[in-house]
Structure 1
Amino acid sequence: MSLATSRSTTSTQQTTAVDRPPEAPLRVGFVMHVMQVAGAEVLVKQIIERLADKIEPTVFCLDALGELGQQLRDAGVPVVVLDRQPGLDRNVPRRLAAEVRSRGIELLHAHQYTPFFYSALARLLHRAPVKILFTEHGRHYPDIVSPKRRWANRLLLQRYADRTTACCEFSTRALQQIEGFPAAFTLANGVDLEQLPPRGDAATQADLRRRLGLDLDRPYAACIARFHPVKDHATLIRGWYQLHQQLPDARLLLVGDGPQREAIESLVDQLAQSNSPSPTFPDSIEFWGIRSDVADILRAVDLFTLTSVSEAASLTLLEAMASQCPAVVTDVGGNGEHVGDGVEGFLVPRGDHEALAGRFQNLLSDPVKSQAMGEMARARVVKKFDLQQTIAAYYRHYQALAPVEVAQR
């Protein structure tokens, strides 16, 4: 992964110089919504763990602590909850600026727009002596930004983002063209390859399937995603229903939970009793809930699928590819930056269950093709989406934005 060349857009903004010994760790504050188990938050935890000897971290949560926040606190990392109130909470930037001063923080790494917004206000309104790195992850669907916000970003707030990154080209274009951050550039996500080993030989595969309770000779597909409208499980279920007519022995594993789960379970029953009754259809879909052995599941199944109507840079997709699992995903957001159509898997149009079923059949009925695509998928991740490369790139930006120098007072 190449690190795009960028320059600070805040040359007119003065911040206090840093008086820090060269060997001392950088004091970095991470500004988040809540440290829940999700892509951006997992990345922050990984950065903190991997750079333990290079940075002195503090995490600022606008809204709540979250599961990962508690884990970091338990590990001795300061996590400050700012208790943001509904609407524009003017106390948040004031308190954030005070925390920056009292803790001597040199750099704020704000993940997503609202954490950046409050970080920028801490500098703009309260003269917090700190640089800001703004990283965008996912985008709303539909992606609509008011003209007022776009012009505020372009004319004022983007000057307080010393560097602006996004996790994929799709999000970078949104920042540049929709949000008003023309200097944004891509710094791609990565996954931990040490935790995602190759599949191994046939004996290893058989042992893994036995441990998971899977049949040795049955074709399996898996979708690992929360049950939420943006993930569009309904299209997946309709596509699987069509596939079931051709490959009744195939099984679909749905891993995750969420507000749409009951609706999807009802849809499965409705299709089984539809105009073309298929009493065995519900047996072809297994709801596995939230699991801690996702890496094992990905190495055991034959195909990974994700039918989102919108997606940025899906870490689960990258984990599946690293596990030598070919993917059938919707051609939205950053998916096409990860999966080459017909190379590491297949891309299908958003909401097209017939195209989805056709690609399922292509892979699940052709183990040789599936294996070849899976090997290509892992090779692509190893080359372009290694977590070590991602974290090293972020650290280079930290060093560039918070260099060691004696303060001029």
Structure 2
Amino acid sequence: MHKMQVAGAEVLVEQIIDRLENTIDATVFCLDDVGEIGYRLRDKGVPVIVLGRRPGMDLSVAKKLADEVKRRDIQVLHAHQYTPFFYSAIARIRYGVKAKVIFTEHGRHYPDVVSWKRRLANRTLLQRYADITTACCDFSTKALQTIEGFPKAFTLNNGVDVSDLVPRGDESDQSRLRERLGLDQDRPYAACIARFHEVKDHATLIRAWAKVHQQLPEAHLLLVGDGEERENIENLIAELSTSSNSQLAASISLLGIRNDVPELLRAIDVFTLTSVSEAASLTLLEAMASECPSVVTDVGGNAEHLRHGVDGYLAPRGDDEALAGCLVKLLSDPDRARQFGRSSRARVLDAFDLNDAIGQYLHHFQTLAATHN
């Protein structure tokens, strides 16, 4: 991994380790730092080793990785994202590591530009050292095949734990939940649960919410997360809270990082995500499993998960006008929101169960370990 921060791929890694604790002996290697989830894993007794990558191409990382893999007799390296794969491949090529490698791609940059040198290196050499190459959605798989030079890549869908993400229940259940969370009973709520990073494009959401607020002044937006964009988000809210929209700031709450996300998803009316780039958003799948209708940007794998007009709405990237229109539709139509929410959960149960995803990863671990020498 790069760093075991609170984000989708990192959460998946923790879930794999937790679910397979009696089957695999896991060690986590981080290129850059431990991260919140890394410290949590250390508390559980899982080794989390920071390789201390320096700026630029740091081949000493591959040497450190190789030494640890050999010392620990690791059979399979599961590299999440391209840079961890690159150093895993170099550890095999240059330092004689025998461990098999799974390369999993989770997301893509926007714009998706890859240098010709990287493409050439992948096609002519590096892709041979990925014994299995997977991506978490068809969008990322296609990019690996056509842009990166991994022709054998295939899709292994992410999943969420549906046992932890229960349906909404009836009105009395909702009332008790909102009271416990400190939410108003009759106020429509939308929530964005995402790290405060420029790729999540909170700016478009804030601009859209200014339009929503003019039509639905009683509606409230919850922003769950934190990160380097927090100050910019706060400044934009203040900037848009003009005399003609003076109550905008009061209609938006920045809640920070929360440990009660499943409860929030059951209590709110609409989940929204405005990323400029996305692969398979675990938070979107969690919202869908919680019977929460969603309004998300039509990027990456979002359209593979959410069916427009069935589970929620897709809006063009960066289009605050379209996004606002979709939010108003759902926030002002509880019957449609409930219908979308029920179909969302059915969609997750059918295609995105965490048990299925982890079962497939375990199969690949065992298959590769059997060929380790």
Instruction: Give the TM interval when normalised to the shorter protein.
Output: over 0.9
Report the CA distance between 1:281 and its aligned residue.
2.1
Q: Secondary structure at the match of 2:85?
A: helix
Q: Which residue of 2 aligns with 1:4?
A: none
Q: Decide which of 77, 80, 97 is 2:66's aligned counterpart.
A: 97
Write the letter of the residue equivalent to 1:127.
G
Instruction: Work out whether 1:289 is the aligned partner of 2:251.
Output: no
Residues 21-60 of structure 1: pairs in structure 2 closer than 5 A: 32-60=1-29
TM-score norm. by structure 1 comes to 0.88
Q: Quote the Cα distance in structure 1 between the aligned partners of 2:53 and 2:236.
A: 38
Q: Decide which of 163, 167, 183 is 2:136's aligned counterpart.
A: 167
User: Given the superposition, is the C-alpha separation of residues 282 and 64 from structure 1 closer, same or farther in structure 2, using an over 3 Å criterion?
Assistant: closer
Instruction: Work out whether 1:354 is the aligned partner of 2:321.
Output: yes
Q: Which residue of 1 aligns with 2:330?
A: 363
Instruction: Work out whether 1:316 is the aligned partner of 2:283.
Output: yes
Report the CA distance between 1:404 and its aligned residue.
7.0
Higher relative contact order (CA 8 A, sep 6+): 1
RMSD: 1.4
Report the CA distance between 1:280 and its aligned residue.
2.2
Report the CA distance between 1:263 and its aligned residue.
2.2
Instruction: Work out whether 1:389 is the aligned partner of 2:356.
Output: yes
Q: Which residue of 2 aligns with 1:111?
A: 80
Write the letter of the residue equivalent to 2:122.
N
Residues 6-405 of structure 1: pairs in structure 2 closer than 5 A: 32-273=1-242, 277-403=244-370
Report the CA distance between 1:114 and its aligned residue.
0.8
Write the letter of the residue equivalent to 2:182.
G
Q: Secondary structure at the match of 1:239?
A: helix
State whether residues 7 and 195 of structure 2, in contact with CA within 8 Å, keep that contact through their aligned partners in structure 1: no
Q: Secondary structure at the match of 2:27?
A: strand
Write the letter of the residue equivalent to 1:301.
I
Write the letter of the residue equivalent to 2:128.
R
Which one has the largest radius of gyration?
1
State which drifts further: 281-290 or 366-375.
281-290
Report the CA distance between 1:269 and its aligned residue.
2.5
Q: 1:160-215, CA deviations, whole angstroms, 9 ceiling, x for partnerless residues?
A: 00000011111111111111111111101111112111111111100000011111
Write the letter of the residue equivalent to 1:93.
A
Q: Quote the Cα distance in structure 1 between the aligned partners of 2:56 and 2:331.
A: 50
State which drifts further: 92-101 or 146-155.
92-101
Report the CA distance between 1:104 and its aligned residue.
1.3
User: Given the superposition, is the C-alpha separation of residues 212 and 81 from structure 1 closer, same or farther in structure 2, using an over 3 Å criterion?
Assistant: same
Q: Secondary structure at the match of 1:56?
A: coil
Q: 1:233-257, CA deviations, whole angstroms, 9 ceiling, x for partnerless residues?
A: 1211121111222211111111112
Gaps of 5+ in 2: none
Write the letter of the residue equivalent to 2:86.
F
Q: Quote the Cα distance in structure 2 between the aligned partners of 1:74 and 1:321.
A: 31
Instruction: Percent identity, please.
Output: 65
Report the CA distance between 1:80 and its aligned residue.
2.0
Q: 1:259-316, CA deviations, whole angstroms, 9 ceiling, x for partnerless residues?
A: 2222222222322216xx1222222212212211111111000000111111111111
Report the CA distance between 1:90 and its aligned residue.
2.2
Q: Secondary structure at the match of 2:221?
A: strand
Q: Quote the Cα distance in structure 2 between the aligned partners of 1:271 and 1:199.
A: 34
After TM superposition, the runs of 4+ consecutive aligned structure 1 residues lying more than 4 A away are none
Q: Secondary structure at the match of 2:104?
A: strand
Write the letter of the residue equivalent to 2:261.
V
Q: 1:298-349, CA deviations, whole angstroms, 9 ceiling, x for partnerless residues?
A: 1000000111111111111111111110000110111111111100000011
TM-score norm. by structure 2 comes to 0.97
Report the CA distance between 1:87 and its aligned residue.
2.1
Q: 1:130-156, CA deviations, whole angstroms, 9 ceiling, x for partnerless residues?
A: 111100111122211100110100110
State which drifts further: 222-231 or 146-155.
222-231
Report the CA distance between 1:402 and its aligned residue.
1.4
Q: Quote the Cα distance in structure 2 between the aligned partners of 1:46 and 1:136.
A: 17
Gaps of 5+ in 1: 1-31
Q: Quote the Cα distance in structure 1 between the aligned partners of 2:292 and 2:366.
A: 37
State whether residues 277 and 300 of structure 2, in contact with CA within 8 Å, keep that contact through their aligned partners in structure 1: yes
Q: Quote the Cα distance in structure 2 between the aligned partners of 1:82 and 1:353.
A: 41
Which structure dedicates a bigger proportion of its chain to helix?
A: 2
Q: Quote the Cα distance in structure 2 between the aligned partners of 1:313 and 1:371.
A: 23
Q: Quote the Cα distance in structure 1 between the aligned partners of 2:196 and 2:87.
A: 30
Write the letter of the residue equivalent to 1:97.
A
Q: Quote the Cα distance in structure 1 between the aligned partners of 2:241 and 2:35.
A: 39
State which drifts further: 395-404 or 102-111.
395-404
